[in-house]
Structure 1
Amino acid sequence: MFSRQFARLSTRSTLSFQRFITFDAASQPRLRIGSTVPNFKAPSTAGEIDFHKFIGDSWVVLFSHPADFTPVCTTELGAFAKLKPEFDARNVKLIGLSAEGVDKHNSWIKDIEEVALDNKPFTYPIIGDESREVSYLFDMVDEEGFKNLNGGIVQTIRSVFVIDPAKKIRLTLTYPASCGRNSAEVLRVIDSLQTADKKGVVTPIDWTVGQDVIIPPSVSNEAAKEKFGDFKEVKPYLRFTKV
Structure 2
Amino acid sequence: MTLRLGDIAPDFSQESSEGPIHFHEWAGDSWIVLFSHPADFTPVCTTELGYTAKLKDEFAKRNVKALAVSVDPLESHHKWISDINETQNTRVNFPILADADKTVATLYDMIHPNSLANATVRTVFVIDPTKKIRLTLTYPASTGRNFNEILRVIDSLQLTDHHKVATPANWQDGDDVVIVPSLQDEAEIAQRFPKGYNAVRPYLRLTPQPNK
TM-score range, shorter chain: over 0.9
C-alpha separation between the residues in 2 aligned to 1:145 and 1:99? 15
Contact map agreement 1:233 1:239 (CA 8 A) in 2: yes
Q: What is the CA deviation profile of residues 179-217 of structure 1, one whole-angstrom value per residue up to 9, with x for unaligned ones?
A: 110011111110010011122211011111111011000
Question: Where do 5+ consecutive residues of structure 2 fail to align?
Answer: none
Match of 1:105 in 2: 77
1:163 aligns with 2:127: yes
1:134 aligns with 2:104: yes
1:233 aligns with 2:199: yes
Q: Secondary structure at the match of 1:95?
A: strand
Q: How far does residue 145 in structure 1 lie from its aligned partner after superposition?
A: 4.8
Report % sequence identity: 52
Match of 1:44 in 2: 16
Q: Which runs of 4+ in 1 moved over 3 A?
A: none
C-alpha separation between the residues in 2 aligned to 1:200 and 1:36? 23
Q: How far does residue 54 in structure 1 lie from its aligned partner after superposition?
A: 1.1
C-alpha separation between the residues in 1 aligned to 2:94 and 2:62? 15
Contact map agreement 2:156 2:167 (CA 8 A) in 1: yes
Q: How far does residue 221 in structure 1 lie from its aligned partner after superposition?
A: 5.3
1:56 aligns with 2:28: yes
Moved more, 33-42 or 156-165: 156-165
128, 138, 150: which one pairs with 1:174? 138
Q: How far does residue 99 in structure 1 lie from its aligned partner after superposition?
A: 1.1
Match of 1:77 in 2: 49
Q: Secondary structure at the match of 1:187?
A: helix
Q: How far does residue 42 in structure 1 lie from its aligned partner after superposition?
A: 0.3
Contact map agreement 2:126 2:135 (CA 8 A) in 1: yes
Q: Which amino acid aligns with 1:225?
A: A
Contact map agreement 1:135 1:157 (CA 8 A) in 2: no
C-alpha separation between the residues in 1 aligned to 2:110 and 2:199? 41
Contact map agreement 1:231 1:240 (CA 8 A) in 2: yes
Q: Secondary structure at the match of 1:239?
A: strand
* Cα RMSD after superposing both structures: 1.4
C-alpha separation between the residues in 2 aligned to 1:165 and 1:185? 20
Between 1 and 2, higher relative CO (CA 8 Å, sep ≥ 6) is seen in: 2
C-alpha separation between the residues in 1 aligned to 2:5 and 2:93? 28
Q: How far does residue 142 in structure 1 lie from its aligned partner after superposition?
A: 2.8
Contact map agreement 2:36 2:123 (CA 8 A) in 1: yes
Q: What is the CA deviation profile of residues 135-174 of structure 1, one whole-angstrom value per residue up to 9, with x for unaligned ones?
A: 111011334258x3xxxx43x5210000000000000001
TM-score using structure 1 length: 0.82
Q: How far does residue 103 in structure 1 lie from its aligned partner after superposition?
A: 1.1
Contact map agreement 1:141 1:158 (CA 8 A) in 2: no
Match of 1:224 in 2: 189
C-alpha separation between the residues in 2 aligned to 1:43 and 1:78? 21
Q: How far does residue 108 in structure 1 lie from its aligned partner after superposition?
A: 0.4
